[in-house]
Structure 1
Amino acid sequence: MRRLKNAFSDEAFMGLVERFERQLAKLLSVLICIVLVAATVQLVVSVLSEFSNPASGWLGDDLIKILGDVLTLLIALEVLQNVTAYLRRHVVQIELVLITALTAVARKVIVLPPGAENKPMLLLGLGVTVVSLSAGYWLVRKADFRDRPPRTEQARGFRGLDL
Structure 2
Amino acid sequence: MRRWLRPLILLWQEVILLLQDNQRFLQLLSQIEGIATRVLAIGMLLVVIVAIIDLGRILTVELFSPPLGQFSLELVKIFGLFLNVLVALEILENITAYLKTHVSSQIVELVIVTSLIAIARKIIILDIGQPETVAKLLGLAIAILALSASYWIVRRLNYRRRP
TM-score bin (small chain):
0.7 to 0.9
Higher share in helix: 2
Q: TM-score normalized by structure 1?
A: 0.81
In the alignment, the residues of structure 2 paired with residue 132 and residue 142 of structure 1 have an alpha-carbon distance, to the nearest angstrom, of 15
Gap runs ≥5 in structure 1 = 150-163
Q: Does the 8 A contact of 1:6 with 1:12 survive in 2?
A: no
Greater relative contact order, per chain length (Cα 8 Å cut-off, separation 6+): 2
Q: Give the aligned partner of residue 63 of structure 1.
A: 75
Describe the shift of the 1:77–1:138 C-alpha distance in structure 2 as closer, same or farther (beyond 3 A).
Answer: same
**Among residues 104, 110, 129, which one is paired with 1:115 in the alignment?**
129
1:13-162 correspondence to structure 2 within 5 Å: 13-55=25-67, 57-58=70-71, 61-92=73-104, 93-116=107-130, 118-149=132-163
Count of residues paired in the alignment: 146
TM-aligned CA deviation for residue 17 of structure 1: 1.2
* CA-atom RMSD in angstroms: 2.0
TM-aligned CA deviation for residue 113 of structure 1: 1.5
Q: Does the 8 A contact of 2:109 with 2:155 survive in 1?
A: yes
Q: Does the 8 A contact of 1:36 with 1:77 survive in 2?
A: yes
In the alignment, the residues of structure 1 paired with residue 18 and residue 157 of structure 2 have an alpha-carbon distance, to the nearest angstrom, of 40
Amino acid at match of 1:48: T
Corresponding residue SS for 2:126: coil
Gap runs ≥5 in structure 2 = 1-12
Q: Which runs of 4+ in 1 moved over 3 A?
A: 3-6, 56-59, 116-119
Q: TM-score normalized by structure 2?
A: 0.81
